[in-house]
């Protein structure tokens, strides 16, 4: 009986302790049997300070702080407040929380003026708060010169855009492209029209415009200007060397809208007929100047084109063999 009583006494003393251990009893930890949760004590800069970029631009790297406990381990879930204290910039967020490594970050877009920018990161009750970051905004590049890039000396058809745009480039005194500069475009001589009267340089410093030929053949010039820049104005040359005559509404329609009419071109220019009707036509000369070759397109179905390049000075008269009553008496004079 004594032996049984001794065993019972041991069990009665051990079981409560075993029960408390298996159920994760109150040991002052985090409730998961993993020990006490870390307590944030300090905040400090980790990276991102001292950057330099063009005023008004976003910095390439964020500002980063690290929140740690008394042992230097990172503490997650701590709210960090961010604010701009100088420079007039803007932040990607007003607050952020520390991650599993204890880090919190924000990205600064610099203020519009060149000079210092400062940002603070603060966390209530932590040693080292607030943390101050600095960055410097540099003056944007200043436009110095404008120059022709491409598109000069093209040939085109009446009332058609040239194959390539006119392109200029604005650079600073180091030869680097400058964005955001207004370029003014104008037709200085000859016919034609532009897709815009002003354009703005892109990130490479380039600005462009499209040119559409006028109603007559001949040379045109276009200028691109920017106030105060070396090289302004830039001059582009173009030549409308193909006169397009439409066969439409059972008539020869000239670029100016007249029908069965007259046009003047230069030696070396080309006349192009295009059939826009749903019936066949011809362009056939019946009067030629001395030494001038006759021309005859033959039957032209809808959509077909025919070209003739007069080689001498003089006047050609022509008609349509299919519709001689409606399409006759049209002329081309070469000077």
- Same domain? For 166 and 225 the reply is yes
Quick check: 64 and 107 in contact, CB under 8 A?
A: no
- Sheet containing 115-122, strands listed edge to edge, beginning at the edge strand earlier in sequence: 51-54, 131-138, 115-122, 79-86, 95-97
Q: Are residue 226 and residue 261 in the same domain, yes or no?
A: no
Same domain for 121 and 164: no
5 within some domain: no
pLDDT of residue 11: 40
CATH number at residue 328: 2.60.40.420
Domain limit, last residue, from 223, 240, 257: 240
Q: Taking the CB of residue 178, how many other CB atoms lie within 10 A of it? A: 22
Instruction: Tell me what pLDDT residue 2 has.
Output: 43
Whether 18 maps to a domain, the answer reads no
Same domain (yes/no): 223, 296: no
Number of residues assigned to the chain: 335
Beta-bridge mates of residue 150: 167
Shared domain check, 125 and 171: no
**Distance in angstroms (rounded) separating the CA atoms of residues 206 and 198:** 13
Distance CA 219, CA 235 (A): 13
Look at residue 21 and tell me if it is in a domain: no
Question: 223 - beta bridge partners?
Answer: 186, 235
Residues 172 and 256 in one domain: no
Answer whether residue 28 is part of any domain. no
Question: Using only C-alpha atoms, what is the Rg of the chain?
Answer: 41
The predicted pLDDT at position 140 comes to 87
CA-based nearest residue to 269, from 293, 286, 244: 244
Total structural domains within the chain: 3
In a shared domain, residues 233 and 308: no
Q: Find the CATH number of the domain harbouring 231.
A: 2.60.40.10
Mean pLDDT of each 10-residue bin along the chain, 335 residues long:
42 42 40 72 98 96 98 97 98 98 98 97 98 96 96 98 98 96 98 97 97 97 98 98 98 97 96 98 98 97 98 97 98 97
Residue range of the domain that includes 91: 42-138
**Residue where a domain terminates, one of 240, 262, 287:** 240
Assess if residue 319 is contained within a domain.
yes
88 and 152 fall within a common domain: no
Q: Which pTM value belongs to this model?
A: 0.70
Examine residue 306 and state whether it is found in any structural domain, yes or no: yes
Closest CA to 208 of 236, 239, 166, 247: 166
Instruction: Tell me, yes or no, whether 191 and 123 share the same domain.
Output: no
Residue that terminates a domain, selected from 182, 216, 240:
240
Q: Residue 296 gets which letter from DSSP?
A: B
- Ramachandran class of 56: left when φ > 0, alpha when ψ lies in -120 to 50, beta otherwise: left
* Pair 262, 283 in one domain: yes
CB atoms within 10 A of CB 150: 14
CA dist 35 and 221 (Å) reads 83
Are 181 and 261 in a shared domain?
no
d(CA 163, CA 196): 17
Both tokens assigned to 98: 């520390």
């Amino acid at each position: 009986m004594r032996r049984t009583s001794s065993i019972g006494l041991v069990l009665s003393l051990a079981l409560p302790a075993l029960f408390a251990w298996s159920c994760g009893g109150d040991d002052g930890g985090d409730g998961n049997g993993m020990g006490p949760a870390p307590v944030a004590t300090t905040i400090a800069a980790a990276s991102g300070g001292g950057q330099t970029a063009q005023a008004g631009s976003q910095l390439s790297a964020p500002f980063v702080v690290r929140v740690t406990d008394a042992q230097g381990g990172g503490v997650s879930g701590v709210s960090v407040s961010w604010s701009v204290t100088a420079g007039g910039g803007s932040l990607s967020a007003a607050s952020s929380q520390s991650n599993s490594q204890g880090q919190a970050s924000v990205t600064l877009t610099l203020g519009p003026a060149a000079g210092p920018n400062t940002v603070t990161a603060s966390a209530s009750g932590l040693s080292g708060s607030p943390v101050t970051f600095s960055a410097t905004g540099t003056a944007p590049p200043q436009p110095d010169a404008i120059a022709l890039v491409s598109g000069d000396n093209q040939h085109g058809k009446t009332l058609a855009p040239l194959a390539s745009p006119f392109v200029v480039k604005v650079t600073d005194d180091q030869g680097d492209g400058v964005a955001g500069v207004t370029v003014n475009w104008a037709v200085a001589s000859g016919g034609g029209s532009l897709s815009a009267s002003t354009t703005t340089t892109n990130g490479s410093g380039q600005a462009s415009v499209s040119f559409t030929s006028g109603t007559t053949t001949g040379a045109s010039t276009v200028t691109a200007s920017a106030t105060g820049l070396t090289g302004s104005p830039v001059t582009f040359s173009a030549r409308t060397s193909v006169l397009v005559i439409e066969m439409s509404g059972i008539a020869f329609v000239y670029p100016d809208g007249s029908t069965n009419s007259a046009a003047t071109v230069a030696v070396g220019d080309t006349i192009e007929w295009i059939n826009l009707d749903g019936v066949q036509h011809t362009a056939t000369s019946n009067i030629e100047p001395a030494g001038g070759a006759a021309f005859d397109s033959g039957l032209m179905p809808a959509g077909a084109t025919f070209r003739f390049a007069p080689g001498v000075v003089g006047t050609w008269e022509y008609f349509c063999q299919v519709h001689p009553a409606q399409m006759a008496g049209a002329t081309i004079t070469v000077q």
